[in-house]
Chain A
Amino acid sequence: MEDDLKWQPRVVGLLCKWCSYAGADLTGTSRKKYPDNLTILKVPCSGRIDPLLVLKGLMMGFDAVLISGCHPGDCHYQTGNYRARRRITLVKRFLDYMGIPDQRIQASWVSASEGAKFAQVVTDVIADVKPIGPNKLFKEEG
């Protein structure tokens, strides 16, 4: 219980190398402030994000998974984010049916020039995750 009071959400961000990761970089270099609850993982493309990565993140105890890629039409590999969009939308809805709250899977499009948007996205995500509390889905007692 005491832990719950001190609890701050931990979010894993799966960011596409070409847009969102560069966008996150820009947020830093332009000295924008955003919550430090995000652990960033660089992936080659949002289309590379296997649902397994999302589930693994939740199993490892992250409170939410943020998936971010290039805007539709801007994929470095032409179509990767279109495929990701279909997959992630489906995964999110399915996990919701299984009983994993909607808020635990977050997605966004952030381009390399949208440093300010990235800061905003992370702020919004953290605000979204805080009310649902710590992720105890895969804990034995929870």
Chain B
Amino acid sequence: METELRIEARNLLEKGTVKSIIGFTKGSLKFTTTPLFIRNPDDVHKLVVNRFIKNNLAKYLAEVKECVGIVVKGCDSRSVVSLIQDKQINRDNVVILGIACPGMIDVFKVEQLAGCDRDLIDDISVSDNVAIIDFGGRRKEVELSQVLYDSCLDCKCPVPTEYDLLVSGLSHIGRNEDVGKAKIQELKRMLPEQRWTFWKEQFRHCIRCYACRQICPVCYCERCFIESSEPRWLSPMAQWQHNLGFQIIRTIHVAGRCTDCGECERACPQNIPLRSMVGEMSDLVFKMFNYQAGSDKNAPSFMAAYEVTEAEEIFR
């Protein structure tokens, strides 16, 4: 997988088709990767593809003005398409190096299963539907679906919807919608008051660092409504009412563009289950309007479009 990607990256850089390649390289900590920008063709050996390339690199595209190559997984490619739909980037300015995503491993889940810190884990490997964890001379085999991110378990299209080169090799077999949606289903079984109390308690912990917004590939507004001081819609102070209000509005703003990549939840330092908000939003958009974010680059963006015959039932 990696070799194919590196050869293509080298080609693109040498031919001058792209000025730079945005990809992943090995991180400084175990089982991590970090975004990598390559300009020199001799650096392509640094590119990696594995089960830890969890970040959504589409975030960088709205900022980069030159022609770039970008390494994307299924969800990321849909973010790229959303950006094209919203006219934030020009399709001709990106070379999309797609990876048929095998699902990303959540190291926190592995730590819990192994019962030790990631520094003590020697290796995490995958064969077929089984994840093998080696730690302290011991070996533990678990079902793959136990170690994948919830967002990956719930993934609807692991293969990029738009690409110039597709690197495939591993198939996404660990999917399990029941586990991926467990939190949302649990919330839906509650009474409305209980759900509100749940969110209220969650957002008491919010410190308003805006990491969710900063990491979101489709939160590209130069001025966010939350920073508007005239009118000041919501207070910038970390009070739960305003924290929750901010997140509700952010979720509505990304409706139809959010690909449920799960970056907001991963970025949250307070571990607020944000995917249970945006994930449900993506589901609603799909169920009510049969629209899946980022599946067609020529379609108008969701919130700017309408069908003449559409849901009327809530109107008196």
Question: Which chain A residues border B248 with CB–CB below 8 Å?
Answer: 51, 55, 94-95, 98
CA A92 – CA B312 in complex, angstroms? Answer: 12
Contact of A90 among B187, B249, B252, B277 (CB under 8 A): B252
CA A108 – CA B303 in complex, angstroms? Answer: 20
Encode contact with B along A87-114: 1 for CB under 8 Å, 0 otherwise.
1111111111111110000111100000
Quick check: A85 and B315 within 8 Å, CB to CB? yes
Question: Binding site of A, secondary structure by majority: helix, strand, loop or mixed?
Answer: helix
Quick check: B194 and A99 within 8 Å, CB to CB? yes
Question: Which chain A residues border B315 with CB–CB below 8 Å?
Answer: 85, 107-109
CA A47 – CA B128 in complex, angstroms? Answer: 51
Question: Which chain A residues border B305 with CB–CB below 8 Å?
Answer: 86
Quick check: B284 and A97 within 8 Å, CB to CB? yes
With A55-B248, A90-B252 known to touch, is A85 a contact of B310 (CB < 8 Å)?
yes
CA A96 – CA B190 in complex, angstroms? Answer: 12
Quick check: B289 and A101 within 8 Å, CB to CB? no
Quick check: B196 and A137 within 8 Å, CB to CB? yes
Encode contact with B along A44-87: 1 for CB under 8 Å, 0 otherwise.
00000001100110010000000000001100000100110111
Q: Which of B187-213 contact A (CB under 8 A)?
A: 187-188, 192-199
Quick check: A99 and B196 within 8 Å, CB to CB? yes
CA A83 – CA B300 in complex, angstroms? Answer: 13
Contact of A107 among B233, B280, B316 (CB under 8 A): B316
Q: How many interface residues does B have (CB within 8 Å)?
A: 38
With A51-B252, A82-B306, A94-B281 known to touch, is A99 a contact of B199 (CB < 8 Å)?
yes
Quick check: B314 and A107 within 8 Å, CB to CB? yes
CA A137 – CA B203 in complex, angstroms? Answer: 14
Quick check: B196 and A72 within 8 Å, CB to CB? no
CA A79 – CA B192 in complex, angstroms? Answer: 34
Q: Tell me if B221 is interfacial: C-beta within 8 Å of chain A.
A: no
Encode contact with A along B273-314: 1 for CB under 8 Å, 0 otherwise.
000010011001100110000000000000111111011101
Q: Tell me if A15 is interfacial: C-beta within 8 Å of chain B.
A: no
- Give the distance to chain B from A129, nearest Cβ to Cβ, in Å: 13
CA A85 – CA B309 in complex, angstroms? Answer: 10
Q: Tell me if A121 is interfacial: C-beta within 8 Å of chain B.
A: yes
Question: Which chain A residues border B245 with CB–CB below 8 Å?
Answer: 55, 59
CA A98 – CA B274 in complex, angstroms? Answer: 12
Q: Tell me if A124 is interfacial: C-beta within 8 Å of chain B.
A: yes
Q: Tell me if B108 is interfacial: C-beta within 8 Å of chain A.
A: no
Q: Tell me if B255 is interfacial: C-beta within 8 Å of chain A.
A: yes
* Chain A-chain B contacts (Cβ-Cβ < 8 Å), number: 93
CA A79 – CA B304 in complex, angstroms? Answer: 10
CA A100 – CA B192 in complex, angstroms? Answer: 7
CA A86 – CA B248 in complex, angstroms? Answer: 17
Q: Tell me if B60 is interfacial: C-beta within 8 Å of chain A.
A: no
Quick check: A56 and B188 within 8 Å, CB to CB? no
CA A51 – CA B304 in complex, angstroms? Answer: 14
With A82-B308, A82-B310 known to touch, is A59 a contact of B241 (CB < 8 Å)?
yes
Contact of B284 among A72, A79, A87, A90 (CB under 8 A): A90
Question: Which chain B residues border A89 with CB–CB below 8 Å?
Answer: 288, 310-311, 314
CA A89 – CA B188 in complex, angstroms? Answer: 18
With A52-B249, A99-B196 known to touch, is A92 a contact of B314 (CB < 8 Å)?
yes
> Which residue of the partner chain A has the closest CB to B284?
A93
Quick check: B249 and A51 within 8 Å, CB to CB? yes
CA A91 – CA B255 in complex, angstroms? Answer: 10
B residues at A contact (CB < 8 Å): 187-188, 192-199, 225, 233, 241, 245, 248-249, 251-252, 255, 277, 280-281, 284-285, 288-289, 303-308, 310-312, 314-316
13 CB < 8 A contacts A-B: A51-B249, A51-B252, A52-B249, A55-B249, A86-B310, A86-B311, A90-B288, A94-B252, A94-B255, A97-B187, A97-B195, A109-B315, A138-B241
A residues at B contact (CB < 8 Å): 51-52, 55-56, 59, 72-73, 79, 82-83, 85-101, 106-109, 121, 124-125, 137-138
